[in-house]
């Protein structure tokens, strides 16, 4: 009579583990086949089937007692399950933390430390687990793999404090006390997996490299936004040299082009933009940045050509995406700069036809409309800027009354809008540029000064004075507004007020001026350039040599 092995015996565990390990390897191969498939429906189905297979396998493994012999496979299956699920969802979600939590609790069960639950949060579980990991060398490769996925989740959810603590614990070297995330990621050395280890969709070292690239790119963008250009350049170079899929490399090269343009290195910037165009089929961001670069170089023809190309590989959005209105605005500004006012008006009319319907008809409906329509928090800024550019186009065509009408419409919309749009949640980089308080303030100032200049041209200095006074109140640090106000006060023979203003201006010029242009959309920078007083230095000299000063 054949000998039967009891189900709960160690021999039964070994037999089941061998079968389950083969099942894990089969499912990993299936998921990799899905990744390589050129048929979207088949790719989705194969990946979904593999995910369900890993889910069932994980349930089976959790049915066994938590032992050191079971956990290497169980933790590997958890890692494969999380990786595949994140791939299908195109990102990490908070509920994946539950799978990580259960894995850590199973490790602690092997040491009889069931009390170390979530009293101190998920980081408390990690701290307890990593403290006992030195007693469990068999689990180290899988634990480091799971730690990499935890790091990705915390990076995605912006829990950088917990992420720093985790990396400091994983890096048992002199960098342990460091808070430099890039240094910690570089120092982290996940243990190599054994040659006979269960298959993984991505090993810990590959995951570490992805994290290094992702964090370097994230940090580079933040430094670019805040104006720390040398630091941004270093971080973006780090990202470009790492493990970078082609789609991300296009974004990194484009950001490098932006950074170098702002640092005054247009030729190097152009090299990166060309590289971005060669790397991918998504030409929008590098072409948009190229148009900005050509404008900075004064090459209006190349700028317009870049924008025309961008409007042609960009599909017509419905409703318009957040970056498309800004593209129209930059195209209109470029056309005005090139002396093509009529063409600029055509571009503006096209943009208004795509966005004006998103605006509420009456001010009291504004808040309701903002809640109903996704684009409306930003739409008022785009439409206002369109009217500002239309006003400038009419100025170029010599139609002052039409220009004043457009500036007034711009101001009406701006004063109706509120600077609270940032409360609507995270936005793309284009939206952040359009909806920041500073951009709103500068847009209002540009419209007021532009309308004031047209009143001056019509000989109505009193009306001009009102606009210039309001522009100074709206943006006290804007010296262009102050100089226009100073000239108007002199023309109206209000000498005492002019002298007082001149003294304030002198005091301002002695202080270091904050460079805030980096935070403004390019079309708005262009508009501000048009209203800059051309005879500012002459006016300064007159005040210095006359009795007014």
Angstrom distance (rounded) from CA 211 to CA 243: 9
pLDDT band at 510 (very low <50, low <70, confident <90, very high): very low
Backbone angles phi, psi at 389, to 5 degrees: -70, -35
Interval 58-87 mean pLDDT: 92
Q: With 70 as the cut, is the pLDDT of residue 111 above it?
A: yes
Q: What percent of the chain has pLDDT over 70?
A: 79
The DSSP result for 119-157, as a single string, is TTHHHHHHHHHHHHGGG-GGGHHHHHHHHHHHHHHHHHT
Specify burial of residue 525 (Cβ count, 10 A radius: 0-12, 13-18, 19+): middle
User: Is the pLDDT score of 12 beyond 60?
Assistant: no
Cα 55 to Cα 63: distance, rounded to the nearest angstrom: 13
| pLDDT tens, residue by residue, 359-374 | 544 333 234 333 433 4
Q: What angle do CA 480, 338, 484 make, to 5 degrees?
A: 15
CB 236 within 8 A of CB 256: yes
Tell me what pLDDT residue 195 has: 83
Better pLDDT: 6 or 467: 467
**Residue 548: per-residue pLDDT:** 45
> What mean pLDDT, rounded, does the chain reach?
80
Question: Is the per-residue pLDDT at 518 higher than 70?
Answer: no
Select the more confidently predicted residue: 507 or 433: 507
pLDDT given at position 271: 87
Residue 117 burial by Cβ neighbours in a 10 Å radius (0-12, 13-18, 19+): middle
Output the DSSP codes for 187-198.
Answer: H--PPPPPTTSP
The stretch 526-541 carries a mean pLDDT of: 80
Task: Return the percentage of the chain with pLDDT > 90, whole number.
Answer: 31
Largest CA distance in the chain: 122
1-5, 231-235, 256-260, 396-400, range with the lowest pLDDT:
1-5
**Torsion from C-alpha of 205, 207, 212, 216, nearest 10 degrees:** 160
Q: Phi and psi dihedrals of 119, rounded to 5? A: -60, -35
Q: What is the dihedral of CA 255, 258, 263, 267, to 10 degrees?
A: 110
Q: Would you tell me the crossing angle of helices 479-491 and 461-474 to the nearest 10 degrees?
A: 150
What pLDDT, on the 0 to 100 scale, is given for residue 509? 57
**Per-residue pLDDT at 511:** 42
* pLDDT (tens digit per residue) in 206-222: 999 999 999 999 999 99
Q: How confident is the model at residue 176 (pLDDT cuts 50, 70, 90)?
A: low
Closest CA to 476 of 512, 504, 456: 504
Work out the average pLDDT over 283-299: 81
For 24-63, write each residue's pLDDT tens digit: 999 999 988 887 766 778 888 888 999 999 999 999 999 8
**Cα(221)–Cα(439) distance, rounded to whole angstroms?**
19
The residue with greater pLDDT, 3 or 392, is 392
pLDDT at 249 over 60: yes
Q: Give dist(CA 176, CA 171) in Å, integer.
A: 6
**What integer pLDDT is reported at residue 40 of this predicted model?**
75
Alpha-carbon torsion angle 25, 26, 30, 36, nearest 10: 50
């Amino acid at each position: 009579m054949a000998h039967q092995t009891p189900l709960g015996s160690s021999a039964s565990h070994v037999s089941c583990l061998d079968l389950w390990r083969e099942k894990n390897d089969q499912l990993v191969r299936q998921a990799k086949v899905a990744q390589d498939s050129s048929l979207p429906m088949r790719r989705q189905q194969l990946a979904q089937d593999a995910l369900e297979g890993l889910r069932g396998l994980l349930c089976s493994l959790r049915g066994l007692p938590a032992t050191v012999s079971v956990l290497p496979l169980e933790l590997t299956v958890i890692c494969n399950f999380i990786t595949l699920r994140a791939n299908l969802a195109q990102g990490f979600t908070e509920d994946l933390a539950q799978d990580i939590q259960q894995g850590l609790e199973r490790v602690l069960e092997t040491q009889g430390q069931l009390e170390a639950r979530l009293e101190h949060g998920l980081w408390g579980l990690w701290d307890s687990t990593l403290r006992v990991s030195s007693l469990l060398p068999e689990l180290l490769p899988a634990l480091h793999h799971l730690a990499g996925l935890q790091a990705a989740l915390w990076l995605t959810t912006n829990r950088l404090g917990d992420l720093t603590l985790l990396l400091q614990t994983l890096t048992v070297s002199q960098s342990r006390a460091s808070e430099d995330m890039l240094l910690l990621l570089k120092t982290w050395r996940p243990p190599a997996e054994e040659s006979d280890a269960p298959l993984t969709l991505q090993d810990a070292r590959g995951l570490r490299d992805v994290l290094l690239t992702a964090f370097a790119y994230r940090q580079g963008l933040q430094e670019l936004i805040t104006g720390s250009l040398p630091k941004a350049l270093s971080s973006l170079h780090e990202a470009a040299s790492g493990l970078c899929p082609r789609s991300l490399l296009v974004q990194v090269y484009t950001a490098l082009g932006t950074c170098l343009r702002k640092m005054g290195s247009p030729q190097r910037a152009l090299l990166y933009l060309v590289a971005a165009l060669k790397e991918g089929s998504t030409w929008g961001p590098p072409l948009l940045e190229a148009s900005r670069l050509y404008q900075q170089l004064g090459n209006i023809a190349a700028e317009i050509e870049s924008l025309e190309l961008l409007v042609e590989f960009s599909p017509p959005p419905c409703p318009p995406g957040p970056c498309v209105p800004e593209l129209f605005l930059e195209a209109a500004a470029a056309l005005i700069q090139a002396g093509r006012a009529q063409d600029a008006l055509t571009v503006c009319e096209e943009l208004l036809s795509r966005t004006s319907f998103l605006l509420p008809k009456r001010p009291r409906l504004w808040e309701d409309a903002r809640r109903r329509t996704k684009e409306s928090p930003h739409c008022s800024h785009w439409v206002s800027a369109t009217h500002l550019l239309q006003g400038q186009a009419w100025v170029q065509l010599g139609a002052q009354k039409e220009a004043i009408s457009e500036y007034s419409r711009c101001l009406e919309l701006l004063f109706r809008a509120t600077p609270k749009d940032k409360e609507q949640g995270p936005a793309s980089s284009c939206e952040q540029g359009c909806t920041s308080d500073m951009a709103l303030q500068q847009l209002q100032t540009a419209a007021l000064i532009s309308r004031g200049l047209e009143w001056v041209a019509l000989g109505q200095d009193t009306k001009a004075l009102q606009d210039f006074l309001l522009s100074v109140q709206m943006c006290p640090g804007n010296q262009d507004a102050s100089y226009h106000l100073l000239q108007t006060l002199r023309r109206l023979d209000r000498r005492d007020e002019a002298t007082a203003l001149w003294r304030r201006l002198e005091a301002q010029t002695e202080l270091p001026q904050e460079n805030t242009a980096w935070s403004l959309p390019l079309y708005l920078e262009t508009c501000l350039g048009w209203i800059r007083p051309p005879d500012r230095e002459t006016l300064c000299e007159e005040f210095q040599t006359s009795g007014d000063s």
